[in-house]
Chains A and B, each alone.
Chain A
Amino acid sequence: MRCYRAHVLVCAGSACVTLGCHPVKEAILEGIKRHRLEEEIKVVETGCMGFCEQGPLIVVYPEGVMYCRVQAEDAAVIVSEHLLKGRVVERLLYRDTDTNKPIPFMKDQPSLSKQIKVAMRNAGFINPEDIEEYIANEGYFALAKVLSGMSPEAVINEIKDSGLRGRGGAGFLTGSKWEFTNKAQGAQKYVVCNGDEGVPGVFMDRSILEGDPHSVIEAMAIAGYAIGADQGYVYVRAEYPLAVEKLRHAINQAREYGFLGYNILGTGFSFELNIRVGAGAFVCGEETALLASIEGRRGTPKPRPPFPANKGLWGAPTLINNVETLASIPPIILKGSDWYASMGTEKSKGTKVFALTGRIKRPGLIEVPMGMPLREIIYDIGGGVLNNKKLKAVLAGGPVGGFIPADYLDVSMDYESVAELGTLIGSGSLSVIDEDTCVVDLVKFFMEFSCEESCGKCTPCREGLKRMLEILTRVTEGKGQERDIEDLERLSDFIKNTALCGLGQAAPSPVLSMLRYFRPEFEAHIRDKHCPASVCAALLDSPCQSA
């Protein structure tokens, strides 16, 4: 391998691509050529670094200096100043949102100091298109360890002991799921990776698939060995073309290097992997709908049991895990379950990736030990509310989640504590809402989402959500009636208790959460025909009020 004096990492996650990282990269390459530095400096495209809002991003190693919002015009100065003369270009540095002081080094980023990266360990640090960079970071070591000396039972026990729970939303113990699938009877079994990632605002799965596809491939091969499957599918949503491209490339490389295919590492274990591209429905992330979609059927959920572990893809026992769940597997195998279980709380172990969005100073992807108080996540990592507005609530779980009001900001971010507040960790969406947001309007917006995404199979979700949306629309238009409160409660209760799948069961959550924490605000819309946050246009008393 050749040695370089410096590496320039260009973030090429979807967001940075949109913001124009490729012209920047070209300009840097050109500058390097002009100064004849090709032999000394290597430019590498990485996956998402997690600071999307600051993109296009560039990090120069060995120092680890991070440049933000770099434009093609800036490339020349980065090359001539930094790469040639070793002088940091101050105007392109990230600035602290409060003090405005520049923060040159990536490691000093306030948002990074409290993070521990496990699932996201490689994304943004290695070139996802080069399998050797993955291998150099202990990639495929876990697979080798498993295949060369661990029994399937030992692998399953390691995962069970780690306490890892499914990161796709439900939080089911991963090791137990592997065990069920291992014990299920069937000549053919499958491993499926759920990369549908349909909750708006979350993109950790995309980041991992784009930035570190080999971690998912390696984990799926390990899972195949543990449950006795020789075939796997990665289901990726159609809106993630870059992820599909990187994954396809990585699968081919893994095949070339003998980590996939027949007789892997000469151990007699064989495993093949294919990609299936989704068709743009949130409900296809639900596991039974996802499997129907892979089979080429309309992606609608089926009653469970039977669970996929017993009757999944084409009726065969199938293990289905989320991208982030899988990406956490290789480090657990290598570092041991004790290491993983030492992070987190008693029942929620390890780390979780959250997507910070909404009215927050430093939005992006973060990975923290479970159980971190929400306050630390929002203020220490996220930098607090944008424009120093007052925090009203944090919405957890996206449009099918619920509010964590400002008063509960000290809640420990683990599955149990968050559930007690009537919401869920879900896939890790945390959206900050400030005092200018009308909860009723927001909840109506979420209900629109759920109505759109309902598959229409079961009565409660198909007919019930529609009526809930109509009521919420009426209320925001100033046409709400007293009985609407009762109807909303009744419908929420009914849909939550009787809908066929998790979408319908969770869709009323924002309404229930609003009625639990922001009832006066909701009632004001109906009784006083007044929108306290001055958002609902029909309920503004005078034009000046909305100014």
Chain B
Amino acid sequence: MAEVTLTIDGVQVTVPKSTTVLDAAENVGIIIPTLCYDPELSKPGACRMCVVEIPGMRNLPASCVTEAADGMVVYTASPAVIKARKTNLELLLANHPADCLNCHKSGECRLQQYAYNYGVDFGAFAGEKHRYPIEDDNPFLVRDLNKCIMCGKCVQACEEIQANSAISVAYRGFDAKVTPAMDYPLSTTEYSNCVFCGNCVAVCPTGALTEKQMLGKGRRWEVEKVRTTCPYCGVGCTFDLNVMNGKVIGVTSTDGDVNGRALCVKGRFGAGFIHHPDRLKTPLIKENGAFMEATWDEAISLVAEKLVGLKKKYGPDAIGVLSSARCTNEENYLMSKFTRAVIGTNNIDHCARL
């Protein structure tokens, strides 16, 4: 593949043709701030945070959508660039609630981070601010569009990752906002085809979209993240359990090998069973019509004993095995092996065919 060599902040870098300036800079450790860019999503070039100065080019181009070219000279932090980024942030903050104190995203919010990096505060421009009602009438996610910076990532995640297109941008200019169909809440089943996968929440750079169940349960920096595999189905998505004082308060996306950041409603929002008082923690054996707690050894021995007895009495084909789509591939493989090799029957199926 053809290569191009360019100079970024005085450093020469050679990259394959059609690499963006943003990626080329990252190659040499120069990190350019971005709000709407996401390597997994299409590039809208909308936030203009990533602008750089390239002599000979009109204006300050957005580095996330500008291709590196041979001999190009790029300044990622010239005075003009810094000034533009500051103004950009000031404008975003001028239309943003000043409530970092209580915001769940605090500590993991891009806007907050860049405001800190560039020394920018609220209040540079006085004027109208959005006053949207907060949408929290569903059990899963809270949408506070007052904190939305219109990066469009949620819309793209819904369209490009979830392939659902439950949300889009409506209205124009200052009034443009991300909405489900007809500007009804996501929970309006007649209009909204939202499946509450929360993949929009996973990509939102601000506190506009948050996981409802975690609100108020722990600041981002206090939470310990424990990577694990989702127990709900055979896909085996990876995610992070968010643990606070030894208790799981929720789930967030991580970069899983199988699933990237995508999760489904159960994986993302269905961790409530973990600490549920009704949760079964030991096997139960029915004795005299009532379930009694038992150890795994007792339970497994009992099942083995019964299976051996049945097989002796009626033959192996009297036994049928139904496995679960919630098991992993490996577990289903073992089940099949056990059924055919140990029990000796081909009577095996699983619930997804029912």
Contact = CB atoms under 8 A, between A and B. Distances in A.
Interface of A: 281, 298, 300, 302-303, 305, 451-467, 470, 487, 490-491, 494, 496-500, 505
Interface string B56-88: 000110100101000000000000100110011
B176 interface: yes
Contacts of A456: 150, 169, 171-176
B317 to A, nearest CB: 57
A467 B129 CA distance: 11
Contact of A459 (B43, B46, B175): B46
Interface centre among B60, B91, B126, by most chain A C-beta atoms within 10 angstroms, is B91
Given A464-B91, A496-B59, A498-B60, A458 B46 contact: yes
A298 B169 contact: yes
A462 B127 contact: no
B152 A466 contact: no
A498 B95 contact: no
A452 B172 CA distance: 7
Contacts of A300: 169
A331 to B, nearest CB: 33
Contacts of A458: 45-48
Shortest 6 CB-CB distances between A and B: which pairs? A456-B176, A303-B45, A454-B173, A463-B91, A303-B65, A470-B127
B59 A452 contact: no
Interface size class of B (residues with CB under 8 A): 35 or more
Nearest to B151: A459
B59 A497 contact: yes
Given A456-B172, A456-B174, A462-B174, A467 B48 contact: no
B44 interface: yes
B125 A298 contact: no
Contact of A298 (B60, B88, B168): B168
A465 B91 CA distance: 10
Contacts of A452: 172-173
B92 A459 contact: yes
Contact of B88 (A303, A457, A466, A494): A494
A500 B173 contact: no
Contacts of A281: 172
A467 B125 contact: yes
A496 B58 CA distance: 10
B205 to A, nearest CB: 13
Given A457-B176, A498-B51, A470 B44 contact: no
A463 B172 contact: no
B94 interface: yes
Interface centre among A455, A470, A498, by most chain B C-beta atoms within 10 angstroms, is A498
A462 B176 contact: yes
B62 A470 contact: no
17 contacts: A303-B43, A452-B172, A455-B172, A456-B169, A456-B176, A457-B150, A459-B46, A459-B88, A463-B95, A464-B87, A464-B91, A465-B174, A467-B91, A467-B127, A494-B87, A497-B84, A500-B45
A277 to B, nearest CB: 19
Contacts of B173: 451-456, 461-462, 465-466
A459 B93 CA distance: 11
A482 to B, nearest CB: 15
Nearest to A455: B172
B149 interface: yes
Contacts of B80: 497
A460 B49 CA distance: 10
A463 B87 CA distance: 10
Given A455-B172, A456-B174, A463 B51 contact: no
A434 to B, nearest CB: 31
A453 B171 CA distance: 10
Nearest to B35: A459
Nearest to B91: A463
B235 to A, nearest CB: 31
Contacts of A490: 87
